Amino acid sequence: MAKNDKKSSKLKRAKRGDDSTPKKKQSRVKAKVTNDEPWYADGLRFTCTQCGDCCSGEPGYVWVDQSEIDAMASVMGIEVEEFEHKFVRQVGIDRSLVEYPDGDCILLDPQTRRCTVYEARPIQCRTWPFWDSNLNRKKDWNETCQVCPGAGSGRLYSLEEIEHARSKKSV
């Protein structure tokens, strides 16, 4: 879902999803609700190149709930308590995955650049790049394409698929 100055800003901000950065300010703001179709009504292209950039870079947040934590612990074959102790941090009333000092996600294999819990990755990661913060305006999407090599090319996702992804979590 995305860590920068290594990369830039977008993923980073996305990952952050907080108030410290304009974009990923985890813009919980949904696209303008109108009777008109969104600007991406014809769909958007995306195919992950598995570069790992959305999981690395400057500090940010990957929000997780208990069911996601349970699933990741299961995939790793460890107890939930152990997973929480090693990989989860409390942020106010919410919880986020721990990061390495450089901002990389603790679950990103530094050698392979692959997610170590890919099959059970959190919804925030699954729905990238179809986040509210990336879709509010075409300009936001264009910025996303600048930091994610998979965005803007590859498989064409339909409006329905995009809206379904957005509905899963506001990021």
Q: Please identify, using beta-carbon distances, which residue of 52 and 103 lies nearer to ligand SF4.
A: 52
**128 forms part of the interface with ligand SF4 (CB under 6 A):** yes
Scored b (16 or more CB within 10 A) or e, 105-132 reads: bebbeeeeeebbbeebbbbbbebbbbbb
Which residue in 148, 162, 165, 171 binds ligand SF4 (CB under 6 A)?
Answer: 148
Q: Please identify, using beta-carbon distances, which residue of 51 and 98 lies nearer to ligand SF4.
A: 51
Shortest separation between residue 46's beta carbon and ligand SF4, angstroms:
8
**53 forms part of the interface with ligand SF4 (CB under 6 A):** yes
Q: Please identify, using beta-carbon distances, which residue of 59 and 150 lies nearer to ligand SF4.
A: 150
CB-CB contact of 70 with 78 (8 Å): no
**103 forms part of the interface with ligand SF4 (CB under 6 A):** no
Residue 28, CA distances (Å) to 24, 66, 83, 84, 86 in order: 9, 21, 28, 26, 28
Q: Interface with ligand SF4 by CB under 6 A: which range of 30-38, 49-57, 67-75, 81-89?
A: 49-57
For 38-170, where are the alpha helices, taking DSSP H only?
Answer: 66-76, 80-87, 123-126, 132-135, 138-147, 159-168
**150 forms part of the interface with ligand SF4 (CB under 6 A):** yes
Q: How many residues bind ligand SF4 (CB under 6 A)?
A: 11
Q: Please identify, using beta-carbon distances, which residue of 25 and 126 lies nearer to ligand SF4.
A: 126
Shortest separation between residue 100's beta carbon and ligand SF4, angstroms:
17
For 20-151, where are the alpha helices, taking DSSP H only?
Answer: 66-76, 80-87, 123-126, 132-135, 138-147
Residue ranges in contact with ligand SF4 by CB under 6 A: 48-54, 128, 148-150
